[in-house]
Structure 1
Amino acid sequence: MPDPVALALQALGWVLSDSQRADRLLALTGMTPETLRGGLSDPGVLGACLEFLCNHEADLVAAAQALDIAPEHLVAARENLT
């Protein structure tokens, strides 16, 4: 399985590549852009980003396809970070 931190950062990059999805991430997690930037090495912040994907199956599947991994790897990474 890929490194959970590296996978979370890749998934976060995918989320942030779309402004509407990025806005939804911030709205649903309660994070600010500053919190997100400052938390890139924080497992809790990275886990929250993966939780965001796991709570919306369409995004989870799309992110997994974009990253060329199985959705289960994103779910497992979330479990390792939270």
Structure 2
Amino acid sequence: MIEKSLWLSEKEASEFLRVDEQYLELLREKGDLKPGFHWRSSNDPKQLPWKPKVFYSIMVCQEVIEYLQSNDASYDQIAA
């Protein structure tokens, strides 16, 4: 069982959620995934400020993706 507060790296999250890493990035850019709630940036000073790693809160992201899959006709086109 996955812990509700579990945060996974972008690669791990894409594998768990069965979506491309690019799709997760698109959801962030569109504002469907909110910073601090759905995702957060690494605070590793070696990665800042250029392209820090992103971590996703699995359970809340899964809810958003499932909602989009069931309510958005264009989801299949985006996720493909």
**TM-score tier after normalising by the smaller chain length:** 0.3 to 0.5
What TM-score, normalized to structure 2? Answer: 0.40
Higher helix fraction: Structure 1 or Structure 2? 1
Higher strand fraction: Structure 1 or Structure 2? 2
What TM-score, normalized to structure 1? Answer: 0.39
